[in-house]
């Protein structure tokens, strides 16, 4: 079956612009996660959606970051007024029980 997909795979933007990153989780997975991975670094938790519950936004680094999950499926991570320090790979994962399945990531470069 299809795995987690993300788009775009690469995004280059100018400082100050807004960007939207999309995640399509595995069908039927109730949980969806966003992580940020800077070059050579670990997986930094950003936000977590579980079913119809309020999302856990405790990892969002600033109010420039927001995310939505529509209809319990597709999710969009929005970064407003991008800064150079936002440059990283943004990974999405979904799960049903336990194991998280990761997407290929979106590499964001802010010039």
Q: List residues binding other proteins (CB under 8 A).
A: 31, 33, 35, 41-43, 45, 48, 50, 56, 58, 91, 95, 98-105
Tokens describing residue 16: 């100050």
The nearest distance, CB 21 to other proteins, in angstroms, is 15
Q: Nearest to residue 109, comparing CAs of 80, 92, 84, 90?
A: 84
| Least distance in angstroms from the C-beta of 81 to other proteins | 27
Cβ 42 to other proteins, closest distance in Å? 4
Identify any residues that bridge with 50 across adjacent strands, giving them in sequence order: 31
Considering beta carbons, is residue 32 or 110 the nearer one to other proteins? 32
Say which residue the tokens 């991008």 belong to.
82
Instruction: Using CB atoms within 10 Å of the CB of residue 36, give its burial: 0 to 12 exposed, 13 to 18 middle, 19+ buried.
Output: buried
Decide whether 80 or 107 has the Cβ nearer to other proteins. Answer: 107
């Amino acid at each position: 079956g299809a795995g987690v997909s993300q788009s775009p795979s690469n995004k280059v933007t100018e400082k100050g612009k807004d960007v939207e990153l999309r995640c399509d989780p595995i069908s039927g997975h109730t949980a969806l996660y966003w992580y940020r991975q800077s070059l050579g670094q670990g997986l930094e938790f950003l936000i977590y959606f579980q079913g119809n519950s309020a999302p856990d936004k405790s990892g969002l680094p600033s109010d420039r970051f927001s995310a939505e999950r529509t209809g319990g499926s597709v999710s969009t991570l929005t970064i407003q007024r991008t800064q150079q320090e936002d440059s990283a790979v943004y990974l999405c994962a979904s799960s049903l029980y336990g194991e998280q399945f990761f997407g290929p990531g979106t590499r964001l470069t802010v010039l």
